[in-house]
Amino acid sequence: MFILDAHLDLAMNALEWNRDLTRPLAEILRREAGLTDKPDRGRGTVSLPEMRRAGIGLCVATQIARFVKPENPLPGWNSPAQAWAQTQGQLAWYRAMEDAGEMSQVRDRAGLERHLAAWHTSPEKAPIGYLLSLEGADSMVTPAYVERSYSQGLRAIGPAHYGPGRYAQGTDWTGGLTPRGRELLSEMERLGVILDATHLCDDSFWEALKHFQGPVWASHHNCRALVPHNRQLSDEMIRALLDRGAVIGAVFDAWMMVPDWVRGKDTPESRGLKLEVIVDHVDHICQIAGNARHVGIGSDLDGAFGTEQTPADLKTIHDLTRLPGLFRARGYSETDIEGILHGNFLRFLRQHLP
């Protein structure tokens, strides 16, 4: 079944993890044998061949570069200009993948339909389509940079990531939008850029929904009712997103799937974490919505974690192909399953892309 993955940090992996994603996954992992600079070395799950083998013909692919002030302990860049330059390097990698025939950028509805037609005609030869998204807006030197990025094909922005931000506040933080953040949202609304509500802290989430009247989604989020943490969506937040016609992508990072996960100590095996747990999160949203039209997949696989922090039965992104059987076992119809795997995000894009 065709799969649309609404959140993959492909360029980050290519440039910061130095992974040649055009190569088979086994080869990538072999080249990382013995490396210890990152906790997920040798445990990656994503490559372009593996995505193609899984039928992931379209993804939302990110640019990401955090700005940090001197007092901020999080890793990041020391100036917005440096962060901007990092995102431009990531964009250069996507362009290189386009030149190599590996990927194809989707910018508008016509391009979306062309890509889908090409993929369904010849999936073994067609490039993997990608819609460009920015995770955390700190790299926007000023709100005016939104228009510059829009001309490059950027179609979705999450204003915050972790901690304090220049435009909004993110995971594990509190507080609302900054004055500059309200300008950012106004520019996004003017241009038709999608607001990604993922990572916004509660205060910023509610203020952003009030201020921004354009299209909204949550690319990679699970449910606070099942895993209590501010990174998750509360039922009230889910209802607010449903009221805006949003689609919410389910994320496969272990600590967002099961409660009380301890990084570096717990393992998928010790916690009995299997892929079927994601069905619980998806089903929770469906029960609130009364239908399966507002959920999708935003795996976040290899988003600075690997198989040490994925379900025990997920060794590569190809294992997402097991999801239809898991949903069937829970009574979901084929129409619902197609919606979850691709149809709901495609409907959203057909409605909101230029």
230-264 burial: b if 16+ Cβ within 10 Å, else e: ebbbeeebbebbbebebbbbbbbbbbbbbeebeee
- pLDDT cut 90: percent of the chain above it: 99
Tell me the residue type at 308.
E
pLDDT of residue 252: 98
pLDDT (0 to 100) of residue 291: 98
- pLDDT tens, residue by residue, 154-184: 999 999 999 999 999 999 999 999 999 999 9
User: Buried b / exposed e across 144-169, counting CB within 10 Å, b at 16+?
Assistant: ebbeebbeebbbbbbbbbbbbbbbbb
The answer to whether the pTM exceeds 0.85 is: yes
Q: Which structural domains are found in the chain, ordered by start?
A: 3-352 (3.20.20.140)
Rounded CA separation 169/165 (Å)? 5
- Measured CA to CA in angstroms, residue 273 lies from 39, 57, 332 at distances of 19, 27, 21
- Residue 31 phi/psi, 5-degree rounding, is -70, -20
Q: Which residues contact 293 (CB under 8 A, 6 or more apart)?
A: 339, 344, 347
Q: How confident is the model at residue 143 (pLDDT cuts 50, 70, 90)?
A: very high
Average pLDDT of the segment spanning 225-254: 98
Q: How confident is the model at residue 215 (pLDDT cuts 50, 70, 90)?
A: very high
Over residues 268-309, the pLDDT tens digits come to: 999 999 999 999 999 999 999 999 999 999 999 999 999 999
**Tokens 């039922």 sit at which residue?**
235
Assign 225 a pLDDT band (cuts: 50, 70, 90): very high
The pLDDT, as a whole number, for residue 41 is 98
